[in-house]
Structure 1
Protein backbone atom coordinates (compact mmCIF):
# COMPACT_ATOMS: atom_id res chain seq x y z
CA UNK A 1 0.00 0.00 0.00
CA UNK A 2 1.16 3.51 -0.83
CA UNK A 3 0.54 6.96 0.51
CA UNK A 4 -1.88 8.51 -1.99
CA UNK A 5 -3.17 12.02 -2.46
CA UNK A 6 -6.56 12.56 -4.09
CA UNK A 7 -6.39 16.18 -5.22
CA UNK A 8 -9.53 18.07 -6.33
CA UNK A 9 -8.85 21.50 -7.79
CA UNK A 10 -11.50 24.17 -8.28
CA UNK A 11 -10.44 26.21 -11.29
CA UNK A 12 -11.26 29.59 -12.72
CA UNK A 13 -14.17 29.34 -15.15
CA UNK A 14 -12.98 28.00 -18.49
CA UNK A 15 -9.42 27.26 -17.30
CA UNK A 16 -9.58 23.47 -17.00
CA UNK A 17 -8.27 22.61 -20.46
CA UNK A 18 -5.36 25.04 -20.10
CA UNK A 19 -4.35 23.41 -16.80
CA UNK A 20 -4.71 19.90 -18.23
CA UNK A 21 -2.51 20.79 -21.21
CA UNK A 22 0.16 22.27 -18.92
CA UNK A 23 -0.14 19.40 -16.45
CA UNK A 24 0.28 16.72 -19.12
CA UNK A 25 3.10 18.57 -20.89
CA UNK A 26 5.16 19.53 -17.82
CA UNK A 27 3.96 18.22 -14.48
CA UNK A 28 3.54 14.47 -15.10
CA UNK A 29 7.15 13.88 -16.13
CA UNK A 30 8.39 16.59 -13.76
CA UNK A 31 6.89 14.76 -10.79
CA UNK A 32 7.92 11.34 -12.03
CA UNK A 33 11.52 12.61 -12.29
CA UNK A 34 11.61 13.15 -8.50
CA UNK A 35 9.98 9.81 -7.65
CA UNK A 36 6.29 10.68 -7.55
CA UNK A 37 3.93 8.14 -9.14
CA UNK A 38 1.30 10.19 -10.97
CA UNK A 39 -1.94 8.24 -11.23
CA UNK A 40 -5.31 9.02 -12.74
CA UNK A 41 -6.05 12.51 -14.00
CA UNK A 42 -9.69 13.41 -14.57
CA UNK A 43 -12.22 15.99 -15.64
CA UNK A 44 -15.11 16.10 -13.17
CA UNK A 45 -18.16 15.45 -15.36
CA UNK A 46 -20.45 17.31 -12.96
CA UNK A 47 -18.30 20.43 -12.68
CA UNK A 48 -16.62 21.97 -15.75
CA UNK A 49 -14.26 23.91 -13.48
CA UNK A 50 -12.89 20.96 -11.55
CA UNK A 51 -9.75 18.86 -12.13
CA UNK A 52 -9.21 15.70 -10.07
CA UNK A 53 -5.98 13.75 -9.91
CA UNK A 54 -3.98 11.28 -7.84
CA UNK A 55 -0.35 10.79 -6.98
CA UNK A 56 1.38 8.19 -4.82
CA UNK A 57 4.49 7.74 -2.69
CA UNK A 58 5.94 4.62 -1.02
CA UNK A 59 5.73 6.22 2.45
CA UNK A 60 5.44 9.56 4.24
CA UNK A 61 9.20 10.22 4.34
CA UNK A 62 9.43 9.68 0.59
CA UNK A 63 6.42 11.95 0.10
CA UNK A 64 8.10 14.80 1.96
CA UNK A 65 11.40 14.44 0.06
CA UNK A 66 9.69 14.13 -3.33
CA UNK A 67 7.39 17.11 -2.75
CA UNK A 68 10.33 19.23 -1.58
CA UNK A 69 12.28 18.24 -4.70
CA UNK A 70 9.39 18.98 -7.05
CA UNK A 71 8.20 22.27 -5.54
CA UNK A 72 11.71 23.71 -5.24
CA UNK A 73 12.80 22.25 -8.59
CA UNK A 74 12.99 23.80 -12.04
CA UNK A 75 9.75 22.43 -13.52
CA UNK A 76 7.48 23.91 -10.83
CA UNK A 77 9.50 27.11 -10.56
CA UNK A 78 9.19 27.72 -14.29
CA UNK A 79 5.47 26.92 -14.61
CA UNK A 80 3.93 27.64 -11.19
CA UNK A 81 2.56 31.08 -12.04
CA UNK A 82 0.84 29.74 -15.15
CA UNK A 83 -0.62 26.82 -13.17
CA UNK A 84 -1.67 28.92 -10.18
CA UNK A 85 -3.39 31.41 -12.49
CA UNK A 86 -5.88 28.65 -13.44
CA UNK A 87 -6.81 27.78 -9.84
CA UNK A 88 -9.23 29.14 -7.29
CA UNK A 89 -8.59 26.36 -4.74
CA UNK A 90 -6.05 23.55 -4.69
CA UNK A 91 -6.44 22.61 -1.01
CA UNK A 92 -9.18 19.94 -1.33
CA UNK A 93 -6.80 17.04 -0.75
CA UNK A 94 -7.37 13.69 0.90
CA UNK A 95 -4.28 11.93 2.26
CA UNK A 96 -4.94 8.23 1.88
CA UNK A 97 -3.34 4.81 2.12
CA UNK A 98 -4.11 2.46 -0.74
CA UNK A 99 -3.03 1.01 -4.05
CA UNK A 100 -3.39 4.22 -6.09
CA UNK A 101 -5.45 4.20 -9.25
CA UNK A 102 -5.07 4.88 -12.94
CA UNK A 103 -7.86 3.94 -15.36
CA UNK A 104 -7.23 1.38 -18.07
CA UNK A 105 -6.33 2.88 -21.46
CA UNK A 106 -9.47 3.80 -23.34
CA UNK A 107 -11.63 3.77 -20.20
CA UNK A 108 -14.75 5.89 -20.33
CA UNK A 109 -16.48 7.37 -17.32
CA UNK A 110 -14.93 6.40 -13.99
CA UNK A 111 -16.89 6.50 -10.75
CA UNK A 112 -15.16 7.21 -7.45
CA UNK A 113 -17.04 6.98 -4.16
CA UNK A 114 -15.87 9.01 -1.19
CA UNK A 115 -17.52 7.54 1.90
CA UNK A 116 -17.50 8.71 5.53
CA UNK A 117 -18.23 5.56 7.56
CA UNK A 118 -19.15 6.04 11.19
CA UNK A 119 -18.22 2.49 12.17
CA UNK A 120 -14.97 0.97 10.84
CA UNK A 121 -16.00 -2.59 11.70
CA UNK A 122 -19.31 -2.23 9.88
CA UNK A 123 -17.54 -0.69 6.91
CA UNK A 124 -15.05 -3.57 6.77
CA UNK A 125 -17.98 -6.01 6.67
CA UNK A 126 -19.60 -3.94 3.89
CA UNK A 127 -16.33 -3.87 1.92
CA UNK A 128 -15.92 -7.64 2.30
CA UNK A 129 -19.36 -8.17 0.74
CA UNK A 130 -19.37 -5.44 -1.93
CA UNK A 131 -15.84 -4.40 -2.90
CA UNK A 132 -13.19 -6.45 -4.64
CA UNK A 133 -9.55 -5.77 -5.55
CA UNK A 134 -10.61 -3.91 -8.71
CA UNK A 135 -12.27 -1.23 -6.59
CA UNK A 136 -8.84 0.02 -5.39
CA UNK A 137 -10.04 0.73 -1.86
CA UNK A 138 -8.22 3.57 -0.05
CA UNK A 139 -8.46 4.65 3.60
CA UNK A 140 -7.55 7.90 5.30
CA UNK A 141 -3.88 8.13 6.25
CA UNK A 142 -3.88 9.77 9.67
CA UNK A 143 -0.15 10.58 9.74
CA UNK A 144 0.70 14.24 10.24
CA UNK A 145 1.10 16.17 7.00
CA UNK A 146 4.85 16.73 7.05
CA UNK A 147 4.73 19.01 4.00
CA UNK A 148 2.38 21.73 5.36
CA UNK A 149 3.03 23.99 2.37
CA UNK A 150 0.39 21.77 0.70
CA UNK A 151 -2.59 21.44 3.06
CA UNK A 152 -4.61 18.23 3.34
CA UNK A 153 -8.05 17.71 4.84
CA UNK A 154 -7.86 16.54 8.43
CA UNK A 155 -10.30 15.49 11.12
CA UNK A 156 -12.24 13.08 8.96
CA UNK A 157 -12.10 9.38 8.24
CA UNK A 158 -12.90 8.43 4.65
CA UNK A 159 -12.89 5.43 2.38
CA UNK A 160 -12.45 5.92 -1.35
CA UNK A 161 -12.99 3.34 -4.06
CA UNK A 162 -13.50 3.15 -7.79
CA UNK A 163 -16.17 1.33 -9.75
CA UNK A 164 -19.93 1.12 -9.85
CA UNK A 165 -21.62 3.21 -7.22
CA UNK A 166 -23.05 0.94 -4.55
CA UNK A 167 -25.60 2.20 -2.03
CA UNK A 168 -23.87 2.67 1.31
CA UNK A 169 -25.43 3.31 4.72
CA UNK A 170 -23.06 6.21 5.42
CA UNK A 171 -22.67 9.73 4.09
CA UNK A 172 -20.97 9.47 0.71
CA UNK A 173 -20.47 11.24 -2.58
CA UNK A 174 -19.86 9.72 -5.98
CA UNK A 175 -17.58 11.55 -8.40
CA UNK A 176 -18.26 11.03 -12.09
CA UNK A 177 -14.90 11.39 -13.77
CA UNK A 178 -13.58 11.36 -17.31
CA UNK A 179 -9.95 10.26 -17.70
CA UNK A 180 -7.60 12.76 -19.29
CA UNK A 181 -6.07 11.30 -22.44
CA UNK A 182 -2.34 11.93 -22.43
Structure 2
Protein backbone atom coordinates (compact mmCIF):
# COMPACT_ATOMS: atom_id res chain seq x y z
CA UNK A 1 0.00 0.00 0.00
CA UNK A 2 1.31 3.47 -0.66
CA UNK A 3 2.21 5.61 2.31
CA UNK A 4 -0.26 8.23 3.55
CA UNK A 5 0.36 11.89 2.94
CA UNK A 6 2.92 13.33 5.31
CA UNK A 7 2.54 17.02 6.09
CA UNK A 8 6.33 17.39 6.42
CA UNK A 9 7.85 14.78 4.07
CA UNK A 10 11.34 14.64 2.72
CA UNK A 11 11.22 16.55 -0.59
CA UNK A 12 13.10 13.79 -2.42
CA UNK A 13 10.29 11.34 -1.68
CA UNK A 14 7.61 13.39 -3.38
CA UNK A 15 6.56 12.84 -6.96
CA UNK A 16 5.77 15.43 -9.56
CA UNK A 17 5.09 19.10 -8.79
CA UNK A 18 2.94 19.15 -11.96
CA UNK A 19 0.21 16.51 -12.31
CA UNK A 20 -2.45 15.76 -14.89
CA UNK A 21 -5.73 14.13 -13.84
CA UNK A 22 -7.14 12.58 -17.01
CA UNK A 23 -10.65 11.13 -17.40
CA UNK A 24 -11.36 9.27 -20.65
CA UNK A 25 -14.81 8.39 -21.92
CA UNK A 26 -14.57 5.11 -23.82
CA UNK A 27 -16.66 3.20 -26.28
CA UNK A 28 -18.89 0.66 -24.49
CA UNK A 29 -17.04 -2.44 -23.42
CA UNK A 30 -13.60 -1.11 -24.35
CA UNK A 31 -12.12 -0.27 -20.94
CA UNK A 32 -10.26 -3.53 -20.40
CA UNK A 33 -8.95 -3.29 -23.95
CA UNK A 34 -7.45 0.12 -23.21
CA UNK A 35 -6.06 -1.05 -19.86
CA UNK A 36 -4.39 -3.95 -21.65
CA UNK A 37 -2.78 -1.53 -24.11
CA UNK A 38 -1.90 1.04 -21.46
CA UNK A 39 -0.50 -1.21 -18.75
CA UNK A 40 1.20 -3.55 -21.18
CA UNK A 41 2.62 -1.06 -23.67
CA UNK A 42 2.43 2.62 -22.72
CA UNK A 43 3.83 3.01 -19.21
CA UNK A 44 7.50 2.38 -19.90
CA UNK A 45 7.60 4.62 -22.96
CA UNK A 46 6.10 7.55 -21.09
CA UNK A 47 8.43 7.14 -18.13
CA UNK A 48 11.43 6.85 -20.47
CA UNK A 49 10.37 10.24 -21.87
CA UNK A 50 10.55 11.79 -18.39
CA UNK A 51 7.04 11.40 -16.95
CA UNK A 52 5.87 9.58 -13.83
CA UNK A 53 2.82 7.38 -14.39
CA UNK A 54 1.27 7.78 -10.96
CA UNK A 55 -1.89 5.73 -11.18
CA UNK A 56 -4.52 4.35 -13.54
CA UNK A 57 -7.99 3.19 -12.56
CA UNK A 58 -11.36 1.73 -13.42
CA UNK A 59 -14.17 4.04 -12.29
CA UNK A 60 -16.46 1.94 -10.09
CA UNK A 61 -19.55 4.03 -10.91
CA UNK A 62 -18.99 4.66 -14.62
CA UNK A 63 -18.16 1.47 -16.51
CA UNK A 64 -16.93 3.26 -19.62
CA UNK A 65 -14.52 5.65 -17.85
CA UNK A 66 -10.77 5.23 -17.55
CA UNK A 67 -9.07 7.60 -15.10
CA UNK A 68 -5.34 8.12 -14.75
CA UNK A 69 -2.70 10.50 -13.46
CA UNK A 70 0.78 11.32 -14.65
CA UNK A 71 3.34 13.75 -13.30
CA UNK A 72 6.16 16.00 -14.45
CA UNK A 73 9.06 17.83 -12.82
CA UNK A 74 7.98 21.23 -14.22
CA UNK A 75 5.85 22.78 -16.94
CA UNK A 76 8.87 22.92 -19.25
CA UNK A 77 9.68 19.31 -18.49
CA UNK A 78 6.06 18.48 -19.33
CA UNK A 79 6.42 20.13 -22.73
CA UNK A 80 9.57 18.19 -23.55
CA UNK A 81 8.35 14.84 -22.22
CA UNK A 82 5.05 15.01 -24.09
CA UNK A 83 6.77 16.05 -27.31
CA UNK A 84 9.21 13.15 -27.00
CA UNK A 85 6.55 10.57 -26.25
CA UNK A 86 3.86 11.61 -28.72
CA UNK A 87 6.46 12.05 -31.43
CA UNK A 88 8.14 8.76 -30.66
CA UNK A 89 7.89 5.10 -31.68
CA UNK A 90 5.99 3.76 -28.64
CA UNK A 91 2.96 5.98 -29.17
CA UNK A 92 3.13 5.42 -32.93
CA UNK A 93 2.95 1.67 -32.34
CA UNK A 94 -0.07 1.82 -30.02
CA UNK A 95 -1.86 5.03 -31.05
CA UNK A 96 -4.44 3.61 -33.43
CA UNK A 97 -5.48 0.78 -31.12
CA UNK A 98 -5.68 3.08 -28.08
CA UNK A 99 -7.60 5.82 -29.88
CA UNK A 100 -10.08 3.28 -31.22
CA UNK A 101 -11.28 2.64 -27.64
CA UNK A 102 -11.99 6.33 -26.90
CA UNK A 103 -14.89 8.71 -27.38
CA UNK A 104 -13.29 11.64 -25.54
CA UNK A 105 -9.85 12.17 -23.98
CA UNK A 106 -9.97 15.94 -23.36
CA UNK A 107 -11.25 15.93 -19.76
CA UNK A 108 -7.94 16.91 -18.18
CA UNK A 109 -7.12 18.94 -15.07
CA UNK A 110 -3.63 20.41 -14.71
CA UNK A 111 -2.68 20.45 -11.03
CA UNK A 112 0.00 21.35 -8.47
CA UNK A 113 0.33 20.33 -4.78
CA UNK A 114 -2.09 22.22 -2.56
CA UNK A 115 0.59 22.94 0.06
CA UNK A 116 4.25 22.00 0.56
CA UNK A 117 4.35 18.26 1.04
CA UNK A 118 0.91 17.59 -0.43
CA UNK A 119 2.15 15.64 -3.45
CA UNK A 120 2.31 11.87 -3.76
CA UNK A 121 4.93 10.00 -1.78
CA UNK A 122 5.88 7.16 -4.13
CA UNK A 123 9.04 6.18 -2.28
CA UNK A 124 9.37 2.42 -2.51
CA UNK A 125 6.36 2.00 -4.81
CA UNK A 126 6.96 -0.64 -7.48
CA UNK A 127 4.89 -2.27 -10.18
CA UNK A 128 4.74 -6.06 -10.33
CA UNK A 129 6.38 -7.59 -13.36
CA UNK A 130 4.13 -8.98 -16.06
CA UNK A 131 4.63 -12.44 -17.45
CA UNK A 132 5.21 -12.39 -21.18
CA UNK A 133 1.94 -14.23 -21.84
CA UNK A 134 -0.11 -12.33 -19.26
CA UNK A 135 -2.51 -9.54 -20.12
CA UNK A 136 -2.57 -6.80 -17.44
CA UNK A 137 -6.35 -6.66 -17.16
CA UNK A 138 -6.47 -10.39 -16.44
CA UNK A 139 -4.49 -9.95 -13.22
CA UNK A 140 -6.36 -10.42 -9.95
CA UNK A 141 -8.24 -7.18 -9.17
CA UNK A 142 -6.92 -5.11 -6.28
CA UNK A 143 -9.35 -4.80 -3.36
CA UNK A 144 -8.30 -1.32 -2.26
CA UNK A 145 -9.88 1.77 -3.77
CA UNK A 146 -8.79 5.35 -4.35
CA UNK A 147 -11.31 8.16 -3.90
CA UNK A 148 -10.80 11.51 -5.63
CA UNK A 149 -13.00 14.40 -4.52
CA UNK A 150 -13.02 17.44 -6.82
CA UNK A 151 -14.15 20.72 -5.26
CA UNK A 152 -14.91 23.54 -7.69
CA UNK A 153 -13.93 26.86 -6.11
CA UNK A 154 -14.29 30.52 -6.87
CA UNK A 155 -11.05 31.91 -8.28
CA UNK A 156 -8.79 33.24 -5.56
CA UNK A 157 -10.22 31.12 -2.74
CA UNK A 158 -8.12 28.01 -3.26
CA UNK A 159 -5.28 28.97 -0.90
CA UNK A 160 -7.66 29.57 2.00
CA UNK A 161 -9.61 26.39 1.24
CA UNK A 162 -6.40 24.35 1.09
CA UNK A 163 -5.14 25.85 4.36
CA UNK A 164 -8.36 25.02 6.18
CA UNK A 165 -8.50 21.55 4.66
CA UNK A 166 -4.93 20.79 5.74
CA UNK A 167 -5.50 22.09 9.27
CA UNK A 168 -9.04 20.85 9.93
CA UNK A 169 -10.30 18.22 7.53
CA UNK A 170 -7.17 16.25 6.72
CA UNK A 171 -6.55 15.28 10.35
CA UNK A 172 -10.23 14.49 10.82
CA UNK A 173 -10.22 12.18 7.80
CA UNK A 174 -7.08 10.33 8.81
CA UNK A 175 -8.35 9.97 12.38
CA UNK A 176 -11.32 8.10 10.94
CA UNK A 177 -9.16 5.64 9.02
CA UNK A 178 -8.60 7.25 5.60
CA UNK A 179 -5.14 7.44 4.04
CA UNK A 180 -4.76 10.95 2.66
CA UNK A 181 -2.47 10.31 -0.30
CA UNK A 182 -2.27 13.77 -1.86
CA UNK A 183 -4.04 17.09 -2.34
CA UNK A 184 -3.88 19.43 -5.32
CA UNK A 185 -5.13 22.75 -6.67
CA UNK A 186 -5.32 23.96 -10.26
CA UNK A 187 -2.06 24.83 -11.95
CA UNK A 188 -2.95 28.03 -13.83
CA UNK A 189 0.25 28.22 -15.88
CA UNK A 190 -0.26 28.32 -19.63
CA UNK A 191 -0.61 24.87 -21.17
CA UNK A 192 2.93 24.04 -22.27
CA UNK A 193 1.75 21.40 -24.78
CA UNK A 194 -1.39 22.82 -26.45
CA UNK A 195 -1.72 19.78 -28.71
CA UNK A 196 -3.28 18.14 -25.62
CA UNK A 197 -5.97 20.45 -24.18
CA UNK A 198 -6.65 20.96 -20.48
CA UNK A 199 -9.67 22.44 -18.68
CA UNK A 200 -8.03 25.84 -18.31
CA UNK A 201 -11.09 27.64 -16.93
CA UNK A 202 -11.46 25.32 -13.93
CA UNK A 203 -10.39 26.24 -10.42
CA UNK A 204 -10.38 23.18 -8.18
CA UNK A 205 -9.12 21.65 -4.98
CA UNK A 206 -8.70 17.89 -5.15
CA UNK A 207 -8.19 15.42 -2.32
CA UNK A 208 -7.04 11.87 -3.00
CA UNK A 209 -7.58 9.23 -0.34
CA UNK A 210 -7.05 5.49 -0.11
CA UNK A 211 -9.24 2.86 1.52
CA UNK A 212 -8.95 -0.88 2.05
CA UNK A 213 -12.25 -1.48 0.25
CA UNK A 214 -15.39 0.21 -1.05
CA UNK A 215 -17.13 -0.85 2.15
CA UNK A 216 -14.45 0.84 4.26
CA UNK A 217 -14.97 4.04 2.29
CA UNK A 218 -18.73 3.89 2.82
CA UNK A 219 -18.28 3.45 6.57
CA UNK A 220 -15.76 6.29 6.68
CA UNK A 221 -18.09 8.62 4.78
CA UNK A 222 -21.01 7.85 7.11
CA UNK A 223 -18.85 8.60 10.15
CA UNK A 224 -17.66 11.91 8.75
CA UNK A 225 -21.14 13.07 7.77
CA UNK A 226 -22.19 12.64 11.40
CA UNK A 227 -19.25 14.69 12.69
CA UNK A 228 -20.10 18.25 13.89
CA UNK A 229 -16.66 19.48 12.83
CA UNK A 230 -17.15 18.07 9.33
CA UNK A 231 -20.59 19.61 9.07
CA UNK A 232 -19.32 23.02 10.20
CA UNK A 233 -16.46 23.02 7.69
CA UNK A 234 -18.65 22.16 4.72
CA UNK A 235 -21.42 24.54 5.72
CA UNK A 236 -18.90 27.38 5.59
CA UNK A 237 -17.21 26.03 2.45
CA UNK A 238 -20.45 25.97 0.44
CA UNK A 239 -20.24 29.75 0.03
CA UNK A 240 -17.08 29.40 -2.06
CA UNK A 241 -18.12 26.48 -4.27
CA UNK A 242 -19.29 27.05 -7.83
CA UNK A 243 -20.80 23.59 -8.43
CA UNK A 244 -21.39 20.36 -6.52
CA UNK A 245 -18.42 18.25 -5.50
CA UNK A 246 -17.47 15.38 -7.81
CA UNK A 247 -16.54 12.05 -6.24
CA UNK A 248 -14.60 9.44 -8.20
CA UNK A 249 -14.46 5.96 -6.66
CA UNK A 250 -11.61 4.20 -8.41
CA UNK A 251 -10.19 0.70 -8.54
CA UNK A 252 -6.46 0.65 -9.39
CA UNK A 253 -5.28 -1.49 -12.27
CA UNK A 254 -2.63 -4.08 -11.53
CA UNK A 255 0.11 -1.72 -12.75
CA UNK A 256 -0.96 1.40 -10.83
CA UNK A 257 1.57 2.79 -8.34
CA UNK A 258 -1.15 4.52 -6.32
CA UNK A 259 -3.68 2.33 -4.52
CA UNK A 260 -1.53 -0.76 -4.10
Instruction: Give TM-score scaled by structure 2 length.
Output: 0.65
* 1:128 and 2:167 aligned: yes
Aligned to 1:172: 245
Q: What is the CA–CA distance in structure 2 between the aligned matches of 1:23 and 1:142, rounded to whole Å?
A: 28
Which moves more between the two structures, 123-132 or 100-109? 100-109
Q: What is the CA–CA distance in structure 2 between the aligned matches of 1:86 and 1:134, rounded to whole Å?
A: 32
Cα displacement string for residues 30-67 of structure 1 (whole angstroms, at most 9, x for unaligned residues): 10111110011100000110000000001000000000
Aligned to 2:184: 138
Paired positions, count: 182
Q: What is the CA–CA distance in structure 2 between the aligned matches of 1:142 and 1:101, rounded to whole Å?
A: 23
Q: What is the CA–CA distance in structure 2 between the aligned matches of 1:104 and 1:161, rounded to whole Å?
A: 23
Q: Which of 200, 203, 207 lines up with 1:161 in the alignment? A: 207
Q: What secondary structure is seen at the aligned counterpart in 1 of 2:149? A: strand
Higher radius of gyration, 1 or 2? 2
Structure 1 or 2: larger helix share? 2
Aligned to 1:147: 193
Runs of 5+ in structure 1 lacking a partner? none
Q: What is the CA–CA distance in structure 1 between the aligned matches of 2:70 and 2:23, rounded to whole Å?
A: 12
Distance 1:128 1:104, change over 3 A: farther
Runs of 4+ displaced beyond 6 Å = 101-105
Q: What secondary structure is seen at the aligned counterpart in 2 of 1:181? A: coil
* 1:8 and 2:23 aligned: yes
Q: CA RMSD in A?
A: 2.2
Cα displacement string for residues 120-144 of structure 1 (whole angstroms, at most 9, x for unaligned residues): 3245223320125934011100000
Aligned to 2:145: 109
Runs of 5+ in structure 2 lacking a partner? 1-15, 114-118, 128-141, 172-178, 210-216, 225-229, 256-260
Q: Which of 39, 54, 68 lines up with 1:24 in the alignment? A: 39
